[in-house]
Amino acid sequence: MAASGPHSRGVRNRILLKLEGDGFAALAPHLERVELRQGQTIHAPAEPIDFVYFVETGFISVVAVLEDGQPLEIGLIGAEGLAGAAVALGVDRSFAESMVQLSGEALRMPTAIFLEQLKAHKTLEAAVLRYAHALHVQVAQTAVCNARHSLDQRLARWLLAALDRGVTSQLPLTQEFLSMMLGVRRSTVTVAAGMLQKAGLIEYRHGRISISDRPGLEDAACECYGVVAAEYRRLLD
């Protein structure tokens, strides 16, 4: 296969875009483009991580599942990273559930081959390890956010993070799904969403949330959004 870079292949994943022609050419035969369907579980808790997924479009939620079965989102993965990054740290099983929240596509690679490629390509290894740390920062800050900030602030933070990864001002998300991700009752999400809508920041109808005023939504969000966004820019850009 002739050497060619990820740009010429129409690749969108930011980790893969860091690779030069020869480096990407070594990975390309092992990458399979797959559909990500909303609600699909790609990694289950305590199950082996058989594949890693370089997200191209849409985004994946990292979800902690409590003993009573209640899910709570602790992280988001979009085209800036990959699902299954923990394998680069020597982990072979998933701690949390990785579930598709916004449909899209990913480039999938068997974990065994991925680990071989990490050893062979230092640029890939460096990019993946930096991303793994960035995701850790996001998960840690989310824990702080859930403990200290009001639901309307948390909802604004979450919508901004989802907007960053969904690359669209319209998100096909129901309040029921949001309540599950934020770990609260649907009626509570309704009140918080109503406050943001009344302020002219979002518009919610028919299972779709539209962002009307992003700067205003950033003002309404807690500090956690800015902290994580700045760290992602520092580590990944």
Per-residue pLDDT tens digits for 78-97:
999 999 999 999 999 999 99
Residues in contact with 157: Cβ distance below 8 Å, sequence separation at least 6, in sequence order = 145, 149, 221, 222, 224, 225
Tell me which of 145, 180, 198 is where a domain ends. Answer: 145
Contact 23, 124 (CB under 8 A): yes
When pLDDT is averaged across residues 220-227 and rounded to a whole number, the result is 96
In a domain, 132, yes or no: yes
Among the residue ranges 1-5, 58-62, 191-195, the one predicted with the least confidence is 1-5
50 and 140 assigned to the same domain: yes
More confident residue, 225 or 168: 225
Tens of pLDDT, residue by residue over 136-152, are 999 999 999 988 999 99
141 and 31 assigned to the same domain: yes
Whether residue 1 has pLDDT greater than 50: no
141 and 157 assigned to the same domain: no
In a domain, 235, yes or no: no
Q: Residue 116: in which H helix or E strand, if any?
A: helix 111-120
CA distance linking residue 217 with residue 221, whole number of Å = 6
In a domain, 1, yes or no: no
164 and 210 assigned to the same domain: yes
Question: In which band, very low, low, confident or very high, does the pLDDT at 59 lie, cut at 50, 70 and 90?
Answer: very high
Q: The domain that contains 163 carries what CATH number? A: 1.10.10.10
141 and 159 assigned to the same domain: no
In a domain, 180, yes or no: yes
48 and 69 assigned to the same domain: yes
Q: Residue 219: in which H helix or E strand, if any?
A: helix 214-220
In a domain, 154, yes or no: yes
Q: The domain that contains 34 carries what CATH number? A: 2.60.120.10
Domain holding 96, by residue range, is 7-145
129 and 188 assigned to the same domain: no
Res 4: pLDDT: 65
Tell me which of 103, 125, 145 is where a domain ends. Answer: 145
Number of domains in the chain: 2
85 and 177 assigned to the same domain: no
